[in-house]
Amino acid sequence: MAHEDQYDFKTIERKWQEIWERENVYSVPNRCDKPNYYVLEMFPYPSGALHMGHIRNYAIGDVVARIKTMKGFNVLHPMGWDAFGLPAENAAIQRGIHPAVWTKNNIAKMRDQQKRLGTSYDWEREVTTCNPDYYKWTEWMFLLMYKRGLAYKKTAPVNWCPTCQTVLANEQVSEGVCWRCGKDVIKKDLEQWFFRTTAYADRLLDDLKLLQGWPERVRIMQEHWIGKSVGADVTFTLPGHKEGITVFTTRPDTLYGVSFMVLAPEHPLVAELIKGSEREQEVLDFVEKCRRESAIVRTAADTEKEGLPLGVYCINPLNGEQVPIWVANYVLMDYGTGAVMGVPAHDQRDFEFARKYNLPIRVVISPPEMELRSEDMTEAYAEPGVLVNSGPFNGLANEEAQAKISAYLQEKGWGQPTVTYRLRDWLVSRQRYWGAPIPIIYCPECGTVPVPEEDLPVLLPENVTFDPGVISPLAHVPEFVNTTCPKCGRPARRETDTMDTFICSSWYFFRYTDPRNDQEPFSKDAASAWMPVDQYIGGVEHAVMHLLYSRFFTKVLHDAGLVEAVEPFTNLLTQGMVIKDGTKMSKSKGNVVDPEEIFAKYGADTARLFILFAAPPDKDLEWSDRGVEGSWRFLNRVWRLVRGHMDVFAAVADTKTPLARAERDLRRKVHSTILKVSEDVEERFNFNTAIAAIMELVNEIYHYVDNVAPKKQNQAIIKEAIENLLLLLSPFAPHITDELWQQTGHQGSIHLENWPKWDEAALVAEELTIVVQVDGRVRDRLVVPADSSKEQVEELALTSPRVQPQLDGKQVAKVITVPGKLINIVTREQV
RNA sequence: GCGGAUGUGGCGGAACUGGCAGACGCGCUAGACUUAGGAUCUAGUGGAUAACAUCCUUGAGGGUUCGAGUCCCUCCGUCCGCACCA
């Protein structure tokens, strides 16, 4: 490859990265005379190297940050490391490297890659969650939760990932498998710490409507995850027992249609009710079988419903009827009360179950204008209707009956209106080493005692053996475990579980506002200066987990009076995946493109430009080596254009002589490009079309310099065009533009310049192209002076030689004119 | 099953409130410059056709309109999320 006319990206990119760093170009104060703007990309887990998804994420964020800076904002654009987590521990186990060392090395490598991408981060604000000066405050957050009654410990059947050797929160299990390793998750009874996210369920749901700057689908996913349903608890009495069986139902209007009761296999009443009966063993075997089934099988909708009668009855409080009690696999212990009333006529699952086991089906909601007979039904009737077979409530519309029956139940003490959520409390304990310690001490005398704030941080011991099991590696370190009780001073034991790393990432965006504060996690003033984040950018895979936890944290911090913000992220951009050959890049598919290769072959500017040009940020991006080549060619084209016209930069504009046509056209292109790019980047982050417009501008400048005789070329106009070109291109390709800016005699970095403004006067078109249609089909195009009147244009259109033949033998019915654009001549057959 | 997104040349993708479909880039074809070209430049490039005339063309089929990629209805495909939530 002949290199003599290609630009030397290696030298140029290194040069400018050094200058930016030396001159602190991207350092930002918390307050100054400019308005603040906070743009944030999700910080990475330091896995070892950046992949294309990272590069895309940071390229998008960097363009936003640079444009906002040029537009006069004081822009906070920080970066950091979500540095606690399992891979570090696994590396330690497999390769004998300490997690801290492994993590530190990875961070050094990835930070270097980010710098080579040319990102405009304020590195003075870098945070690393595994450093004690950060996790001290993560522990502090735990204590805050504890103080506010939002952290508690309980024994519960929890999700256990045998591969990762730790428990998982509900959000971290998808379709029965672990979010990290993809292996089956099983249920285990363990005593664990939880955060009371359910206490915020309503606010997390309601405030979704404040998030108009979020993609709708993310809001819907969160709404679904929270899963609010409004209904009633109803207690069926159990003869011979003090307590009855309470069920949750969204359909109290169907209570007269109950023909059986179903308990979840895990329901504590099951064992109690069958004790000593002849079916005891049979039922216990069934329960055991259900428990052994994996979560995937258990929750799949097409799993065959199975159940057994207990031979025991409860009483429907409304009509006093005896209702047989069953146990069945389709009832879940961890939703509602773990017991369900069976109304086969009006619930599809109950219907299937009743048909299978020949349980009675009684219609209590009648559809309008027809009679529903249970023996004819092929599926449950879940639509609205009128109550029948329902005693005093007969004849009521079912929506009305819901309220009436709920009220009646409450009045009689048989139940009350209830709201149930799908959202569970957040299980935050992890039986692993590489995480923030839970700052709790267990004292034989005083019980559970939080570590006093002044004793934070609880430091992770360095000498540990990694021997994963049900107990955290920390439990094997006596120096760590054995301590004294902060209350009574007697020997006590530390909690040895660490915190879910999602806790670290639930508040890091606050820490960036005040990263070196050693008195508090951040000052309220610093947080108020920046929060909420104006633009957050990251992958949609965090739609529920990270984004929901961060919202929860922000609300708790708000309630504690520590921050003003009630939501952390005003606008959210979920970038698309980087794919190749139609599928996501992954090592197993062997379709990975390493950013290092692209940096080495074409440089960061080319990589950035390609990634931003090939697709809009929220869509998937198909990687194309040819496309990268095209971006590389374009930058060289810009390079040659500028280098070929170095002499124009001394030119002084001649404001006296009117411009000729070619110059007016070029100026119009320059200013319409400024307008187009400004709109594209501002409104929808349409970087791909913005870059396309810049490419058109380059083509047009070439067209001018190639077609106007050198002596006649207007140097001031070329200068104006090239300067604006460089300014518009600078957020996308920061190195080459800074270099050319300097070479063309400008003082200071181009990245400190203002965003260009378009000149309205230059935009005014001199001529317009009017499309002429006959009956909606294009027949001619007329180029007319911009000030032509409607009549003049219509006359031209009707007499056009290309239009005339189309009007032969027809009458003009009407003429529709869209001013400045189009004329449509509508005809009818001659009578 | 429910919810969401999406479907446009050989490819990635444009087309704001209904108004020239295919911007820009890739690829391809021809030419120029060259010892050479995988550099660069110029021209062309949705399909049919001998045609600068004509017709067809935005997943399929209907509809509204002077005019539909865009609005409405009925389907189909692909991707994603949730999935026995009582």
Tens digits of residue pLDDT in A617-627: 999 999 999 99
pLDDT above 60 (res A416): yes
Q: How far is the CA of A270 from the C1' of B70 (A)?
A: 60
pLDDT in tens, A116-139: 999 999 999 999 999 999 999 999
Alpha-carbon distance of A604 to A734, in angstroms, equals: 9
Name the nucleotide nearest A621; use CA and C1'. B12
Q: Which residue is nearest to nucleotide B65 (CA to C1')?
A: A776
Q: Report chain A's terminal Cα–Cα distance, integer Å.
A: 72
Least confident of A192-201, A226-235, A462-471, A649-658: A462-471
Name the nucleotide nearest A699; use CA and C1'. B24
Structure pTM? 0.93
Q: How far is the CA of A732 from the C1' of B25 (A)?
A: 16
pLDDT in tens, A344-353: 999 989 999 9
CA distances (Å), A750 to each of A417, A515, A606, A746, in order? 64, 28, 18, 8
What pLDDT does residue A401 have? Answer: 92
Name the nucleotide nearest A627; use CA and C1'. B26
- CB-CB contact of A530 with A38 (8 Å): yes
Name the nucleotide nearest A215; use CA and C1'. B4
pLDDT above 90 (res A17): yes
* Of A79, A822, A218, A292, residue with least CA distance to A567: A218
Which two structure tokens, joined as six digits, stand for A536? Answer: 């957050």
What pLDDT does residue A34 have? Answer: 97
| Average pLDDT value for residue range A168-195 | 82
Alpha-carbon distance of A772 to A775, in angstroms, equals: 10
Q: How far is the CA of A637 from the C1' of B40 (A)?
A: 10
Q: How far is the CA of A646 from the C1' of B6 (A)?
A: 47
What pLDDT does residue A163 have? Answer: 82
Confidence of residue A298 (pLDDT cuts 50, 70, 90): low
Q: How far is the CA of A777 from the C1' of B21 (A)?
A: 13
Q: How far is the CA of A709 from the C1' of B35 (A)?
A: 32
Q: Which residue is nearest to nucleotide B11 (CA to C1')?
A: A624
User: Within a 10 A sphere around the Cβ of A743, how many other Cβ atoms?
Assistant: 13
| Average pLDDT value for residue range A54-63 | 96
Q: How far is the CA of A659 from the C1' of B52 (A)?
A: 34
Confidence of residue A711 (pLDDT cuts 50, 70, 90): confident
What pLDDT does residue A1 have? Answer: 36
Confidence of residue A642 (pLDDT cuts 50, 70, 90): very high
* Of A117, A123, A129, residue with least CA distance to A46: A129
CA distances (Å), A179 to each of A191, A294, A545, in order? 22, 16, 10
What pLDDT does residue A3 have? Answer: 41
Q: Which residue is nearest to nucleotide B2 (CA to C1')?
A: A224
Alpha-carbon distance of A464 to A438, in angstroms, equals: 17
* Cβ neighbours for A317, distance < 8 A, ≥ 6 positions apart: A234, A235, A236, A237, A409, A412, A414, A415
* Of A654, A813, A382, residue with least CA distance to A663: A654
Alpha-carbon distance of A507 to A552, in angstroms, equals: 10
What pLDDT does residue A277 have? Answer: 87
- More confident of the two residues A583 and A364: A364
User: Within a 10 A sphere around the Cβ of A391, how many other Cβ atoms?
Assistant: 10
How big is chain A, counted in residues?
831
The partner residues of A770 in beta bridges, in order of sequence, read A782
* Unique residue bearing structure tokens 């990245």: A751
CA distances (Å), A600 to each of A117, A124, A510, A523, A596, in order? 11, 27, 36, 42, 6
- More confident of the two residues A304 and A561: A561
- CB-CB contact of A253 with A365 (8 Å): yes
pLDDT in tens, A511-525: 999 999 999 999 999
pLDDT in tens, A134-147: 999 999 999 999 99
Confidence of residue A304 (pLDDT cuts 50, 70, 90): confident
What pLDDT does residue A301 have? Answer: 61
CA angle (A395 as vertex; A392, A397 as ends), nearest 5: 115
Instruction: Say yes or no: ipTM exceeds 0.90.
Output: yes
A311 Ramachandran zone, left/alpha/beta (phi>0; psi -120 to 50): left
Radius of gyration of chain A (CA): 35
Name the nucleotide nearest A770; use CA and C1'. B20
Nucleotides of B under 7 A from a protein CB: 1, 3-5, 11-15, 19-21, 23-27, 36-42, 54-55, 66-68, 80-86
The partner residues of A767 in beta bridges, in order of sequence, read A785
**% chain A with pLDDT above 70:** 97
* Of A663, A745, A676, A735, residue with least CA distance to A705: A663
What pLDDT does residue A531 have? Answer: 97
Confidence of residue A800 (pLDDT cuts 50, 70, 90): confident
- CB-CB contact of A392 with A132 (8 Å): no
The partner residues of A231 in beta bridges, in order of sequence, read A418
Alpha-carbon distance of A30 to A658, in angstroms, equals: 48
Which two structure tokens, joined as six digits, stand for A628? Answer: 């990268």
Which two structure tokens, joined as six digits, stand for A7? Answer: 């630009």
Name the nucleotide nearest A247; use CA and C1'. B86
Alpha-carbon distance of A564 to A75, in angstroms, equals: 20
Alpha-carbon distance of A106 to A259, in angstroms, equals: 62
pLDDT above 90 (res A791): no
What's the whole-number average pLDDT of chain A?
Answer: 91
Confidence of residue A235 (pLDDT cuts 50, 70, 90): very high
Name the nucleotide nearest A2; use CA and C1'. B39
Q: What are phi and psi of A188, to 5 degrees?
A: -145, 145
**% chain A with pLDDT above 90:** 70
pLDDT above 80 (res A291): no
pLDDT above 70 (res A300): no
Confidence of residue A2 (pLDDT cuts 50, 70, 90): very low
Alpha-carbon distance of A96 to A99, in angstroms, equals: 9
Q: Which residue is nearest to nucleotide B38 (CA to C1')?
A: A1
Q: How far is the CA of A387 from the C1' of B69 (A)?
A: 49
* SS3 readout for A538-606: EEHHHCCHHHHHHHHHHHHHHHCCCCCCCCCEEEEEEECCEEECCEECCHHHCCCCCHHHHHHHHCHHH
- More confident of the two residues A450 and A243: A450
pLDDT above 80 (res A466): no
Confidence of residue A467 (pLDDT cuts 50, 70, 90): low
* Unique residue bearing structure tokens 């170009």: A25
Q: How far is the CA of A599 from the C1' of B35 (A)?
A: 33
Q: Which residue is nearest to nucleotide B54 (CA to C1')?
A: A779
Alpha-carbon distance of A809 to A296, in angstroms, equals: 73
Name the nucleotide nearest A698; use CA and C1'. B24
pLDDT above 60 (res A296): no
What pLDDT does residue A527 have? Answer: 97
What pLDDT does residue A4 have? Answer: 47
Q: How far is the CA of A734 from the C1' of B23 (A)?
A: 25
pLDDT above 90 (res A469): no
Confidence of residue A440 (pLDDT cuts 50, 70, 90): very high
pLDDT above 70 (res A468): no
Name the nucleotide nearest A614; use CA and C1'. B12
Best mean pLDDT range from A140-154, A358-372, A674-688, A786-800: A140-154
User: Within a 10 A sphere around the Cβ of A89, how many other Cβ atoms?
Assistant: 25
pLDDT in tens, A736-778: 999 999 999 999 999 999 999 999 999 988 888 889 998 888 8
| Average pLDDT value for residue range A636-643 | 94
Name the nucleotide nearest A768; use CA and C1'. B20
Q: How far is the CA of A780 from the C1' of B47 (A)?
A: 22
Q: How far is the CA of A574 from the C1' of B56 (A)?
A: 40
What pLDDT does residue A710 have? Answer: 86
pLDDT in tens, A307-342: 999 999 999 999 999 999 999 988 988 889 999 999
What pLDDT does residue A588 have? Answer: 77
Concatenating the DSSP letter of every residue in A84-132 gives -SHHHHHHHHHH---HHHHHHHHHHHHHHHHHHHT----GGG-EETTSH
* Of A619, A740, A749, A744, residue with least CA distance to A689: A619
